[in-house]
Homo-oligomer: A and B are copies of this chain.
């Protein structure tokens, strides 16, 4: 068996009517990619038997491996397991180790195993079971006609643990010899099209088997090279050489050659310089802090934050002058400067980030429309500021403010040599 290509299928009515965001396929795509398996299509369908069977037929006509998520719950709207049986002409049988595991799972939580939950121990006779230690629905692995079907539960952390704890390892024994190698660099402070103009000549010289992609995201753009070939070491060398030739063209915009996100880039920089950071947030409501904390190990440089959503907290906790608020308003350069400067003192941190803005949809004026955001970054002595103009959409403004504040801090730290 030689698995080169895969398709991912997400099953569930909740996906089709837009009630949940599907984060599973992103994780699965990335994991399959690491193994050198090319994901050629992803599809989502509802809990309808005929649709699932049609899609399985289509996907297997194109790909060697099909991975499904969702539809394995014990409730009536989840029909994947029965459909798989029909598709493979198999029948459901009880899987004793799973039944035992379910008993223990509920015993630990002081509850009895209900009839509905017992259903989770039934699996198609044709499958191998990969046990799910974080939930009730087991993972099913089916091999037939040199192709593989893997059915995973839809709960993100159960699915992830199953992939990292078993599925990836099993897939490694089924791979072909074609390898994919990706490398990404993170840029910021320049738009996709200007970046493209700067590197057009370089881009035109890339060989056929190396592809360039632009991945823009709220003020930053990642450049990714993907190379396909038989030897990973050779591919890595080629990609590195091509990137080496582009660095001098875009040097001032490069944030990191190692990491994918601005919060990781800040972490690297703070660790290297032995500095701590804190945030004072109004319209982002703690989102900047949460993004910093999403990086494992951030406790080494992140001390904490003050979310000053009301003016009262801005004055009483962050020590912003009442006069500043009266004269310039909470969304002003003067206010964020005071917030950032006072924050470094109050929290005793080397770097302070401050944000105040009108996220919307209400609260705007002619002078300060919805989407007006002020950012500041300070080390107590030196303070820099920036004004953003977002859109009318609350969620987009919060995201824009968060990412741009992190970028401002990154720039401030990299450009300020002496911080004392």
Contact = CB atoms under 8 A, between A and B. Distances in A.
A17 B40 contact: no
A306 B25 CA distance: 35
Nearest to A204: B76
A75 interface: yes
Number of copies: 2
Main secondary structure of the interface of A (DSSP, over half): mixed
Contacts of A348: 312, 316
A312 B303 CA distance: 8
Contact of A193 (B116, B279, B313): B116
Interface in A185-222: 192-194, 196-197, 200, 203, 211-217, 222
Interface in A365-395: 391-395
A156 B290 CA distance: 21
B309 A313 contact: no
Nearest to A134: B391
A373 to B, nearest CB: 14
A23 interface: yes
A30 interface: yes
Given A117-B193, A193-B136, A13 B213 contact: yes
Nearest to A260: B19
Given A45-B40, A391-B157, A286 B293 contact: yes
A296 B75 CA distance: 34
A160 to B, nearest CB: 6
A317 to B, nearest CB: 7
B74 A161 contact: no
Contacts of A23: 21
A172 to B, nearest CB: 18
A157 B399 CA distance: 10
A46 to B, nearest CB: 7
A255 to B, nearest CB: 16
Contacts of A418: none
Contact of A306 (B116, B200, B306): B306
A86 interface: no
A307 B305 contact: yes
A215 B309 contact: no
Contacts of A294: 285, 394-395, 398
Interface string A390-406: 01111110100000000
Contacts of A313: 303-304, 347
27 contacts: A16-B39, A16-B42, A18-B26, A18-B31, A19-B222, A19-B260, A22-B25, A41-B55, A74-B192, A76-B212, A111-B194, A157-B391, A161-B391, A161-B392, A279-B307, A285-B302, A286-B287, A287-B290, A293-B359, A296-B361, A297-B362, A299-B309, A303-B310, A304-B306, A305-B306, A307-B307, A317-B346
Given A42-B44, A289-B307, A312-B348, 8 more contacts: A19-B224, A43-B44, A75-B196, A161-B391, A287-B293, A290-B290, A307-B307, A313-B347
